[in-house]
């Protein structure tokens, strides 16, 4: 957010304020996170995860963040309740509903920032075409 010049945006500002004021409390130790743990970054063969790709957003934090990201991408395939039941059965520990909701807000904030950056690039790059409206590495790398 700070590295792109998309100006002051009231929704972004208000969301950052809400996130700061409502940081979930957890007794769990911080863990290593992927930062974009979703189906588009997971290679699956049969019923096994073969690889997790694109670690450029990794950081240390609340495991509920990666769980929330994953839930946002698998919602068409499994309910949150089904996922959490399987997660707990596999040895995971309880994650509060507030933690999941909090990180959903963060997911949507990140997507809003990506969308605003796409808009900025489309408006400021003279030869920008529809390909600049597609999220991915192509829009992050400024064309020469």
Beta bridge partners of 45: 48
State pLDDT tens for residues 61-93.
999 999 999 998 888 889 999 999 999 999 998
- Structure pTM? 0.78
Question: What residues in the chain have per-residue pLDDT under 50?
Answer: 137-144
**Residue 140 — left, alpha, or beta (φ > 0 → left; ψ -120 to 50 → alpha)?**
alpha
Give the burial class of 80: count Cβ atoms within 10 A of its Cβ; 0-12 exposed, 13-18 middle, 19 or more buried.
Answer: middle
């Amino acid at each position: 957010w700070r590295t792109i010049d998309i100006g002051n945006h009231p929704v972004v500002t208000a969301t950052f304020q809400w996130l700061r004021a409502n940081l979930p409390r957890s007794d769990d130790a911080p863990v290593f996170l992927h930062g974009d743990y979703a189906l588009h970054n997971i290679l699956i063969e049969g019923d096994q995860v073969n690889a997790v790709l694109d670690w450029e957003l990794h950081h240390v934090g609340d495991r509920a963040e990666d769980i929330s990201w994953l839930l946002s991408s698998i919602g068409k395939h499994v309910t949150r309740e089904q996922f959490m039941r399987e997660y707990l059965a596999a040895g995971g520990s309880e994650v509060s509903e507030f933690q999941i909701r909090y990180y959903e807000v963060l997911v949507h904030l990140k997507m809003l920032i990506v969308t605003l950056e796409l808009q900025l690039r489309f408006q400021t790059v003279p030869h920008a075409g529809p390909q600049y409206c597609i999220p991915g590495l192509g829009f992050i790398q400024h064309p020469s």
